Amino acid sequence: MNKLTIRFCFCVCLSAFVLSMPAVAADYLIKNGRLVTSSEAGVIDRGDILVRDGRIEQIGSVLDVPGATVIDAAGAWVTPGLFDSSTYLGLGEVESSTVRSDHRLRDSDMGAGFQVALAIDRHSQLIPITRIEGVTRAIVKPSAGSEVFAGQSAIIHLAGTRDFIVNDSNAVFVELGEGGRRYAGGSRAKALIDLVDALREAKEYSNHRRDIERARFRDLRESTLDLEALVPVLARDKPLVIDVDRASEIEMVLDRLGEFDIGIVLVGGREAWKVRDLLADRGVSVVIDPLDNIPRNFDLLATRLDNAAMLAAAGVTVAFMTSDLFGDNRTLTQGAGVAVANGMDWQDAVNAITSNAARIWGLADSYGKLERGMDADIVIWNGDPLELMSAPTTMLIKGQPVKLESRQTQLRDRYKDLRVFSR
C-alpha cells in the first residue's frame, strides 16, 4: 500500500467510526441559556446550543444529545463572543516610549503594504486579559506613522492557539484628520489628494499589471507592495477604513472617493452623527468608542455620548471599539451599555460588539451570531452582558473552552492573603 492508500483508508475508516457513533462528535451542549442570538431570532428566553466540531450545530429548544458534555447555563445570559473593532493586541505588552511595539512604522515609506499580522505575539498577556471580559475576536490594527496609509489590519481570535489569525489582511487603514495632516506634510487637503492619487494608481496598476511587470509602463509613485494591497480594496474584497472625525471632512472624503466603487468604514467618527443620513445613504459603516465625548481638538468638538444612538437610528451600521489600545480593552461592554443609557436600542448595542462587527469586517459567514453554522464563540454571563457588574463565567472560542485566567488573576491570588508575607 502506498501512502495515499493508507491515508484514504484511514479517512474512510474514521468516518465510518464517527458515523456509527454520532454522539462522540457532539462536543458541548449548552442548556437552558437566555440566548442573545444577535440574529433575526432575537433573544431566545430559554434555549440550548449544540456545539460540534467547533461550530454551532443546532440552536433552539433542543435537545438531549447522548455523549455531549453538558454545560448547564441555568437561565444565564448567553451571547456570541464579543468583538473589539480596534486593538493593538499582540503588538506590544505595554504602552511606553521605551518598550517598543509593532503597530506603527516610523522610519519607512511603506504604506498600505504594511501588514501587522506578521508581528502579532499570540502569547501576549494582553490577550487573556482582554478575553476575560468576554472578547473572543478583535481587529489588530496598524497606525499611521509616516504617511496617510497605516497598513493592513488583521482579525484574530483570542484563544491564543496556533490558528489565532482569522484573517491576516482584512482591511486597509488610512488616517485622515489631524493625523493625516501631519503625515501628508501639513494639510488635510494633501492627505486626501494622497489617498485619491494612490487609489487611482492602484487602479492603473491592476489594469496594466503585465505592462508594469515588463517595465513597459511609466514609473509608479507607490511601491508595488503598497499598490498590491489596494487592489482588493478596489475589487470590494476589503474595506478601506478611514480614521476621521470632523463632519465636514467626512463629507468631503466621501464626495472625493465617489469615483471608486469601494467599501468604506469610518473609524473614530466622533462627529459622524452630524452626517448620519449621508452615511446611511452611502452605506458607510462607522466604528466608534461610545465613551468618547471629550472635545479635545478642533476636529471633534461636537463629539457626544448619543453619537451611537443617532447613527443607529439613522440606519448606519455601527460597531464599537475601545480607545485605550494597549492598556485596556476592558471597556467594551461598558461602552455599549453607556450607548444604551444614551438612547441606543439594547440589541443594536449588542450587535455593535458582535454581528455588526462581523458584517463590517467581512466575517459574517462564520462569526457574530448564535446561529447554526457559525463558529462557536460563545460566552455565558452571570448577568446582563452589558452591565458593569456582570462577567463571563464560561467561554468557548471556536468550540473550545478557554480559561478565564490571566496574569492579573494570578497577581490577585498571590496577594489576596497578605498574612503569608513577612515585612
The residues that touch other proteins, with contacts defined as CB under 8 A, are 93-96, 99, 126, 129, 291-298, 301-306, 324, 326-328, 330-331, 333-334, 337-338, 340-342, 386-391, 408-409, 411-412, 415-416, 418, 423
Report the residue number, 382 or 400, with the smaller CB distance to other proteins: 382
Rounded to whole angstroms, the Cα distance separating 92 from 121 reads: 8
Residue number, 7 or 296, with CB nearest to other proteins: 296
| 192 CB-contact burial (10 Å; exposed 0-12 / middle 13-18 / buried 19+) | buried
Give min distance, CB of 89 to other proteins, in A. 12
- Which of 416, 395, 415, 417 lies closest to 404, judged by CA? 395
Q: Which is nearer to other proteins, 206 or 382 (CB)?
A: 382
Q: How far is the CB of 49 from other proteins (least distance, A)?
A: 24
Which of 295, 241, 239, 306 has the alpha carbon at shortest distance from 272? 306
- Shortest distance, CB of residue 228 to other proteins, whole angstroms? 35
Name the residue nearer to other proteins (CB basis): 304 or 369: 304
Tell me, what amino acid is at 50? Answer: L
Q: Tell me how far apart the alpha carbons of residues 289 and 223 are, in angstroms, rounded to a whole number.
A: 33
- Nearest distance from C-beta of residue 286 to other proteins, angstroms: 18
Instruction: Name the DSSP class of 182.
Output: H
Of 308, 275, 268, nearest to 144 by C-alpha is 268
User: By C-beta, is 300 or 363 nearer to other proteins?
Assistant: 300
Comparison of 69 and 96: residue with beta carbon closer to other proteins: 96
Minimum distance of other proteins from residue 47's CB (angstroms): 25
Q: What CA–CA distance (Å, rounded) separates 231 from 41?
A: 37
- Give SS3 for 241: strand
Backbone Cα Rg of the chain: 23
Residue 55 beta carbon to other proteins: minimum distance, rounded to whole angstroms: 30
